[in-house]
Structures are given as C-alpha cells and as structure tokens.
Structure 1
Amino acid sequence: MPIVVGIDVMPARRKMSVGELADRAGITPANLAVLENARAKAVRFATLAAPCEVLDCRPGDLLRWEAEVEETANSRTSPADTP
C-alpha cells in the first residue's frame, strides 16, 4: 500500500507511549493499532485530528506516501535476455 502510517513514530519523539496517546486522544488502542498496521479502509478526519492535536503535529507527520514498486516480467530479465 502506498500510504505508510507512522503513528508510532511521533509519540516516541514526544516520549509518549502509543497507549498514552490513545488515552489522551480518546481513541481506543485497538483502533490505533488498526491505523498503525495499515488495516484501516478509511479514516475519519476527526480520528486523524485527535492524535495530531495531542502530539501537536500535522497529518503529514503521521502519514506518508511511498510509491509501490511493481515487479513485472521485464524487470525480472536482464538486459542480455532481451532481443
């Protein structure tokens, strides 16, 4: 998935556990784990705003985009294998 969730990084930078973040943000630890493990299908803005408010950060500090690397048949062959 091209969206990477770093919701465990910012609390660590603030010397805060993910459990404390969940408590202070009013989000269950289970829901934070769903976000952290990229199992969420959708995220409400309020759910994203709560940890941002607690951590004094922006959504981009918690989420980042990384291009997916697609392996194709052409990428598996060496240049010598192509005509």
Structure 2
Amino acid sequence: MLSTERAVYIKPSKTSQGKGISHLKMDKMQFVLTDNEGNRKYYSSLDQFINKFRKRSYLIQEEVLIRKKDRKIDSLKFK
C-alpha cells in the first residue's frame, strides 16, 4: 500500500478506542513510524519495519486528508 500512498495508519485489529494506532510515512528514503503519543521510530527498509509487526494482526488504512478552508482537519495527533 505504501507504494501507492504517501502514508498509512496502522491499527491493531483487536483493540479499540484508538489504542495502539500508529502513522507510517515515507520520508527522505526512510520509513517514519509515529505512535499516538508522538514517539518516532525510523526504518531504513519496509522489510525492517514489517519484521517488527509480524507477531500481531493489524489493519492498514490509507491516510485520507480532509481539508476545510485549506486546513487539514483529520491529523490532530500525527504531524
């Protein structure tokens, strides 16, 4: 999905209320993972990132930016 989208949200499939959601984006030839507390981790390859997340089941959702009067309104926690 990251080959066609600039960024995705990664959500644990067995949690609710926004717990464990992370944001993954490609930035200057590396992958940047930001958790919902603002902590960032950097991965040099997609394989390196995937190895971290193999133990659990996740949903991947493309980032859809919504704008109102030229302002993003759906990225409150992830910048």
Q: Structure 1 or 2: larger helix share?
A: 1
Higher relative contact order (CA 8 A, sep 6+): 1
Select the structure of larger CA radius of gyration. 1
Alignment TM class, shorter chain as reference? 0.3 to 0.5
**TM score, norm. by length of structure 1:** 0.32
